[in-house]
Structure formats: structure tokens, C-alpha cells
Amino acid sequence: MSERSNKRGFASRPGDAESWIKASDAPPRRVDEGAAFTARLTIDVTPALRGRIKVAAFHRGVTVADMLRELLAREFPADTGERS
């Protein structure tokens, strides 16, 4: 009854505390200044469109999120002073 299970839990820490602490020092994936301030965008799409988006991203060798970020940045560039 006093014996602990060898099975690791879902959120168990690694044995070496130093490597666990230093793991958070990994550099951020994106380096542009806008990446520091992100928000989740949720949209409803049909399953067929979702499939086409995933296939297109796979063929381009990028993630769906990265592909859509690029598309949105291209369609909605930073304010250039023009108003429609």
C-alpha cells in the first residue's frame, strides 16, 4: 500500500529539475513583433472546405494555421493610410 506506482502521470515532471526549468528557455517559433500579441479566431466552415484547406496546406508543406495567417496578412495588410 505504501509502494508508489512506476507509471508516470499525465503532468509528471522529468527527473532532472534543471532540464525541466531550462526547457522554457526555448526561443519562440515566430520572431516578428506581432507574434507576441495573438488571439484565437474561430470560424465555421463546411467539412468539405476544411478538407480542401488541410490538403492545400499539406501540399505546400506548411501547417493550416501558418497558411491561413499568411493569407490573412496578405488580404488585410497593415494600415497604409488608404480608406475605402
pLDDT of residue 39: 86
pLDDT single digits (tens) 20-36: 666 665 555 655 656 66
Give the fold, CATH level 3, of 35-77: Arc Repressor Mutant (1.10.1220)
Question: Which amino acid is present at 4?
Answer: R
pLDDT of residue 46: 97
pLDDT single digits (tens) 29-75: 655 656 667 888 899 999 999 999 999 999 999 999 999 999 999 99
Q: Phi first, then psi: what are they for 46, rounded to 5°?
A: -70, 155
What residues have CB less than 8 Å from 68, skipping those under 6 apart?
53
The span from the CA of 11 to the CA of 20, in Å, is: 12
Which of 45 and 3 is assigned the larger pLDDT?
45
Categorise residue 78: left if φ over 0, alpha if ψ from -120 to 50, beta otherwise: beta
